Amino acid sequence: MAMVNRVGGLASGLDIGQIISDLMKAQRLRLDRIKQDREIWQWRQEEYRTVNSSLLALRDVVFNLRLQGTFLAKTAVSADASIVTATAAGSAVPTVYQVKVKSLATAATNVSTQSISASPEEKIDPSANLLSQLDKLAGQFERDENNNFSFRINGVEFTFNAATDSLNTVIAKVNATKEAGVTMFYDPVADKVAIATTYTGDRNPGSAQAGGAEIQIDGAFLTEVLFLNEANEQGGTDAEFSLNGLELTSHTNSYTVNGVTFRFTGVTPGGLEGTATAVTVAHDVDAVVKAVKDFVDKYNEVIGLINAKLNEARYPDYRPLTETEIEKGKLTEKQIDQWQAKARSGILKNDPLLRSILDAMRQVLASVVGGLTDKVTVTVGGQSKTITANSLSVIGITTGPYTENGKLYLDENRLREALQSNPEAVMALFTRSKDEDGSDLPPAERGIAVRLYEAINNGIQRITAQAGRAGALVDNSYIGRLLREYDRRLGDYEERLARLEDRYWRQFTALETAINRMNMQSMWLAQHFMPGAR
């Protein structure tokens, strides 16, 4: 657009700049209205996304309740943790194991057959390079012309340089090489090097003297400097124990059977003839109660947020402040924040999308799961009753009064009773999704957690379609497209206002030019008709 030479009101005496500014103010009212509408929609998008984030967190919690493993959790408690500890997988069967430990598994070890220093009064410095310590070493080793030397441990080759490497760096490299399967250390008091396998158990049956060494060493540095000899090895041993009277061995100090992993920590006094340690495997009621309690807490948090959005007061007389209103400086920062808070309040009041999501979740939680016949024994009204576990209320999860808008309450004692009497029935109430033949069950017969997960996921998808996701590269949601349309309209309107202002200036400039020309003509006439003029 060509620039207009804007001429002030010197000829006319008019404040043209102010006149045009006033004319443009009226035109900019519609622009401000569009900006306000856009900001309201952006606020609405942000509020939707806040709700969606809370639904995502709730979905993660509900996901755990869909898993049978959550309800099949087991505990394994040892009567004497100094002898044996245990952990149980969900597949473990509740029972009591009697454990006796005769011996623990040990690693194979080897120690220098003599001191590696030539003199006990002047021992080697393990941190100094080996070349500088040759006179202090009791043994010698071959090196090439560049002072390189090598050796093998369990078939793994190591290469060092005597001029730069110390005993400490040799040991560090061996320890860092997992393939060798050993650890080394130097004892400065004994002036010896010890080496041991990183694993326990008798992995190489037969004596070291007969070639059955578990730590196989090869190289003059190991044999002539560190004085390690395969014949001096103490072979690793297996753990020896009995489980319910059955004598067993294990390369390691752990043993897994029927989903229970035993870890041996000590030896039973009297060995296999001593008194057994009882390990009790049972349903982990505490873990299940925690999972359910976490769900109830998160659900109440989410519906509290949604209900707050649905019932938040709306102030239609408060619209977002425009840039002009803020720039006037008549409002303090606090007043601006208070105004904007009221303008934003109730942005999702009675929102049908949020209402439908909330109703869908409440409907699932209040429903009865069809097809369930397993029963639980719980206390009702002070009496023990056996009831079919087909609804949340049976196991102690109920809703509060109408005024609390669906808030859940958990009777922990009743839930524990149900879990202790029939954990499989409680599991089915939450997780059931397939028939016995593996086919999908109809919605009315699916578990509460399965249906609730679907309802939440559907709600998340609907909100995403409405408001998009934060951080998405392209937002094709309804509000995302709407905001782009507002941006287009604002751009078009800004251009229109610029053209209009330009036209006003052209018109007033033309007026000024005409008045100026008339003034000049008047002055010329006055000069020629003045008395005394020729």
Could you please report the per-residue DSSP string of 239-270? EEEEETTEEEEESSSEEEETTEEEEE-SPPTT
Q: What is the distance between the alpha carbons of residues 55 and 429, in angstroms, rounded to a whole number?
A: 22
Q: Percent of the chain beyond pLDDT 70?
A: 93
Query: Are 415 and 271 found together in one domain?
Result: no
Query: Are 367 and 334 found together in one domain?
Result: no
Residue ending a domain, choose from 432, 448, 467: 467
Cβ contact 260:281 at 8 Å = yes
Query: Are 161 and 145 found together in one domain?
Result: yes
Query: Are 123 and 228 found together in one domain?
Result: yes
State the alpha helices, DSSP H only, in 82-193: 167-176
Kindly report, residue by residue over 209-243, the tens digit of the pLDDT: 445 789 999 999 999 999 999 999 999 999 999 99
Cβ contact 186:171 at 8 Å = yes
Cβ contact 358:459 at 8 Å = no
Query: Are 420 and 445 found together in one domain?
Result: yes
Does 494 fall in a domain? yes
pLDDT of residue 147: 96
Does 254 fall in a domain? yes
Does 10 fall in a domain? no
Query: Are 402 and 303 found together in one domain?
Result: yes
Q: Which domain holds residue 140?
A: 109-232
DSSP state of 114: S
Could you identify the residue written with the tokens 């943790």?
81
Kindly report, residue by residue over 309-339, the tens digit of the pLDDT: 999 999 999 999 887 777 777 788 898 889 9
pLDDT of residue 126: 97
Does 305 fall in a domain? yes
Residue ending a domain, choose from 232, 265, 296: 232
pLDDT of residue 13: 56
Kindly report, residue by residue over 143-166, the tens digit of the pLDDT: 999 999 999 999 999 999 999 999
Cβ contact 138:115 at 8 Å = yes
Lowest mean pLDDT among 332-341, 451-460, 499-508: 499-508
Compute the mean pLDDT over every residue in the chain, rounded to the nearest whole number. 90
Does 79 fall in a domain? yes
Provide the pairing of β-strand 277-283 with 375-380: unpaired
Does 442 fall in a domain? yes
Average of per-residue pLDDT across 349-362: 96
Query: Are 188 and 245 found together in one domain?
Result: no
Residue 262 has pLDDT above 60, yes or no: yes
Does 410 fall in a domain? yes
Query: Are 334 and 382 found together in one domain?
Result: no
